[in-house]
Amino acid sequence: MSYTIKTAEQYKQAYQHSIEDPEGFWAEVAGHFFWQKTWDKVLEWDFRKPELKWFIGAKLNITENCLDRHLATKGDQTAILFEPNDPAAPNRSYTYRQLYESVCKTANALKANGIQKGDRVCFYMPMVPELAIGVLACARIGAIHSVVFAGFSANSLADRIKDATCKMVICSDYNDRGAKHIIVKDVVDEALAMGCDSVKTVLVHRNTGGKINWREGRDKWWHEEVDHQSHACPAEPMDAEDMLFILYTSGSTGKPKGVVHTCGGYMVYTCYTFQNVFQYEDDDIYWCTADIGWVTGHSYIVYGPLLAGATTVMFEGVPTYPDASRFWQVCEKLRVTQFYTAPTAIRALMAHGDQYVEGFDLASIKVLGSVGEPINEEAWRWYYDKVGKGRAPIVDTWWQTETGGILISPLPGITPSRPCYATYPLPGIQPCLLDQEGREIEGNDVEGLLCIKFPWPSILRTTYGDHERCRQTYFAPFDNYYFTGDGARRDADGMYRIIGRVDDVINVSGHRLGTAEIENAINTHPQVVESAVVGYPHDIKGQGIYAYVITSAPVADDNTFRHELLDAVSKVIGPIAKPDKIQIVSGLPKTRSGKIMRRILRKVASGDTSSLGDVSTLLNPEVVDEIIDGALNE
């Protein structure tokens, strides 16, 4: 596509254009897509409400842009290349034509089962092509998909189904992930027993084919519903601002919120950023190792790559199965050209030793990407030297579920790249740093709260069913800014380095979790009176989970109690939220107004008790020494 930036000069020009005339800039980018009707106006916005509308009055269907548009020129090109969990199993693949037909058939099956435009459909599935097909089938008919990561518990799944009042759940029978064999359908049954009355149908994809429990009338096999359908399905005309999907993400308070993205702006932005950040060219094989349960999978496994007509790899397995060379074995086998993963995976593989990456032919790799959490210098170097062999630039891409697409990132081989730096904003993005009072910090070599001054096409539109919460969380903290929740530094060259969350959100192995959510889960244990959860630096996970727990009476068996707590957290949220460390305490440091002093707890958890500051104003200063004495530091 001609809007691809190829030189530093073009980047500067595009950026300048996007700032001086955002509407003109984005109209030009949007001109590269297929619209059933073009827009009357490019943008209307008011951060204070918030009201965010892009390509007003336009009609489109994102799947016509992902699929139909490519049929004439790329019908026989591979769209999805599936790498199963079992390395000995064959690669399944879908050409653009096959994917188009599968999506249409599935869309017809959804319609036959009563799904209409605007209905919500929940997905709870492993990383198999049917997940991408199902998501696109929803988009084809204007149904709103809500994908829930299949590592979440029945409880979390039920919360999300209920919040979005989903009419259908699409799941698999089983999931083989690494050496684990998980009965996915049982988790769905368990969730549906928790009062998910809105669900009329469960569509079950036969993945491994074992025996599963069945509820007649409600449960239906994917193949029985889909296979006989016609492979033509008209694309529903969608307003640019109609909802495309809901994706739940954790915040600092309460239950996860459903971030809402809409059709037009999301399409334009994910494709534009995919094309530029990964510099995808014809015949490339692009692989993003994320799960479609997270936004990275939505934007950079499914939508961005398919919009750009790319070949996108979907990987069912895990980095360490059958051993720590799996990623590199697959890169060699599939001749991967762009590889996009998370720092936690890089650190874990690095810890297994260089022998797992050495000896593989990785010469096909042109671009390496990192996403989800800050990448430390050691991991960055290892990635660059051992995986990229010093030839492939690294793009450290900073963004969020709420931003829909990458906002700050180098362009590989075009703009400079530097360890630990997401570097410069992409065209259309106007970042700034604020101090605690909300004043903009000008100049370079400064640090502050990362905010964005101007909307971009894929900014979240609302949080599902609760617009006020969206305003409170992102737009109320600082007047007329979008607040990211991250702290950042801008160095002498104006490059951005993301430091991490400044709110009560922690990032564990690239999974975003609210400390309050974990506390609520811990507090379900009958013996727990109160708890406080903080993050602490963890060599592999980035952040580990440290829980301070007050019990109603001394625990009889320490080990049993700890296991019960871990079980409680797995049950309420999922195994990803299990604390790494649990310290039983008699009290938590509190201010006179009763607020937990998390600053102190974070310091103790990180093993740094040198500068706790003045604790004498606390309600209960005496607990601080007890907490330090009992701290679980290696």
Sites of contact with ligand WT7 (CB under 6 A): 249, 294-296, 370-374, 396-401, 422, 484-486, 498, 500-501, 507, 512
Question: In sequence order, what are the beta bridge partners of 463?
Answer: 259
Question: What proportions of the chain, in percent to the nearest 5, are helix, strand and coil?
Answer: 30, 25, 45
Nearest to 522 by CA among 538, 509, 508, 534: 534
Identity of the residue, 99 or 342, whose beta carbon is nearer to ligand WT7 in the bound complex: 342
CB of 598 to ligand WT7, least distance (A): 17
Identity of the residue, 295 or 310, whose beta carbon is nearer to ligand WT7 in the bound complex: 295
Residue 51 token pair: 């009201």
Round to whole Å and give the CA distance between 357 and 341.
Answer: 15
CB of 347 to ligand WT7, least distance (A): 14
CB of 479 to ligand WT7, least distance (A): 21
Residue 104 token pair: 């249409």
Contact assessment for residue 506 and residue 535, using Cβ atoms and an 8 Å cutoff: yes
CB of 616 to ligand WT7, least distance (A): 33
Identity of the residue, 61 or 507, whose beta carbon is nearer to ligand WT7 in the bound complex: 507
Identity of the residue, 233 or 267, whose beta carbon is nearer to ligand WT7 in the bound complex: 267
Round to whole Å and give the CA distance between 26 and 52.
Answer: 15
Round to whole Å and give the CA distance between 515 and 533.
Answer: 5
Residue-wise over 242-263: b if at least 16 C-beta within 10 A, else e?
bbbbbbbbbbbbebbbbbbbbb
CB of 499 to ligand WT7, least distance (A): 8
Identity of the residue, 475 or 561, whose beta carbon is nearer to ligand WT7 in the bound complex: 475
Identity of the residue, 163 or 173, whose beta carbon is nearer to ligand WT7 in the bound complex: 163
Round to whole Å and give the CA distance between 372 and 140.
Answer: 29
Residue 147 one-letter amino acid: V
Identity of the residue, 184 or 259, whose beta carbon is nearer to ligand WT7 in the bound complex: 259
CB of 313 to ligand WT7, least distance (A): 18
CB of 472 to ligand WT7, least distance (A): 17
Q: To the nearest 10°, the Cα dihedral for 570, 571, 574, 578?
A: -20
Identity of the residue, 18 or 409, whose beta carbon is nearer to ligand WT7 in the bound complex: 409
- Asked if omega into 322 is within 30° of 0 (cis), the reply is yes
DSSP symbol at 600: H
CB of 491 to ligand WT7, least distance (A): 15
Identity of the residue, 58 or 406, whose beta carbon is nearer to ligand WT7 in the bound complex: 406
Nearest to 100 by CA among 66, 60, 139, 130: 66
Phi-psi region of 226 (alpha: psi -120 to 50; beta: other; left: phi over 0): alpha
Query: Which residue in this structure is represented by tokens 């990407």?
Result: 369
CB of 126 to ligand WT7, least distance (A): 19
Residue 551 token pair: 């019990």
